[in-house]
Amino acid sequence: MNDVNEIDKKILKEIEDDSFSDKEVYNIRKNGKSIERKTNPFINIVSKEDNKGIDVYVNENTLLGIVHIPVILTESGLKDVVYNDFHIGKNANVIILAGCGVHNDEHKDTEHDGIHRFFLEENAKVKYIEKHYGEGKGSGKKILNPVTEITMKKGSSMTMDTTQIKGVDDTLRETRGVLEENTTLVINEKILTNETQNAKTIFEIELNGDNASTHVTSRSVATDESYQEFISNITGNSKCYAHVECDAILKEKGRVKAVPEIYAKNVEANLIHEAAIGKIAGEQLVKLMSLGLSEKEAEDVIIKGFLK
């Protein structure tokens, strides 16, 4: 990777890995441009004509493809907007890793808005892993606004694991899904905010086909004076199942708001929402402190386990 320096490598290690195997496909984007790319006979990556993103094509019946599409931003003041479309062929099975890391040592805000659209054909299977990370000594903000749109045809399934590691000042995370019959969408979200950071997540999922199902789990920790907002809007238009969980831990002056909405439009729609927000349980702290940990060390252990 000739165009990747030491700062870039550090960011890559935080958001996934700084090395890819010979059999894996990748596209590395840095400061608004694709700097390195590798494809294979089963998975192709094509730049959009305006160079504002890529199309990823996974052939039918691909057994296990692995695609890396990391994004690195190190230019202060840059606003990067990218549109990536993923076309997953019938019966294909693929893992997609889409980390984004921002390094900002200056006073201007740096922002990445990534719009990812997934089109899953019949019986396709996708595991999508997304990690967000920010660092730098400058006063400029690190802003990440991911949008994920998912269209699932009959028999397809997708697992989406998203993690905001640390250092992101502001984020608006939007996920929308449209599910046909016999489809499954599982979403696991983990967010850590501190200082005066803000994080807002919105889930809008339509269950249109019989036996469509979704399970959304959001785990978050808000510390210092940070603020988080969780919004879910699940619509059941068929014989379907949905379970949404929002679990949050508060420390110091952290704040979390949960706004659930479930709308059943079919007598056989089974929709469930659960939310739990509060501080770390005192008995957990006492138990760990009795083993020799300080209060801060005990809190760190609990938070790491909660977000694991």
Which tokens sit at 218? 């959001």
The whole-model pTM stands at 0.95
User: Please, what is the end-to-end C-alpha distance for the chain in angstroms?
Assistant: 31
Angle at 40 (CA atoms; ends 37, 42), nearest 5 degrees: 130
Q: How many distinct helices (H) and strands (E) make up the chain?
A: 3, 21
> pLDDT tens, position by position, for the chain (308 residues)?
567 889 999 999 999 866 677 789 999 999 999 999 999 999 999 999 876 899 999 999 999 999 999 999 999 999 999 999 999 999 999 999 999 999 999 999 999 999 999 999 999 999 999 999 999 999 999 999 999 999 999 999 999 999 998 999 999 999 999 999 999 999 999 999 999 999 999 999 999 999 999 999 999 999 999 999 999 999 999 999 999 999 999 999 999 999 989 999 999 999 999 999 999 888 888 888 888 999 889 888 888 888 88
Which tokens sit at 106? 């200056």
Sheet holding 170-179, edge to edge: 43-47, 53-58, 79-88, 110-120, 142-152, 170-179, 198-207, 227-236, 255-264
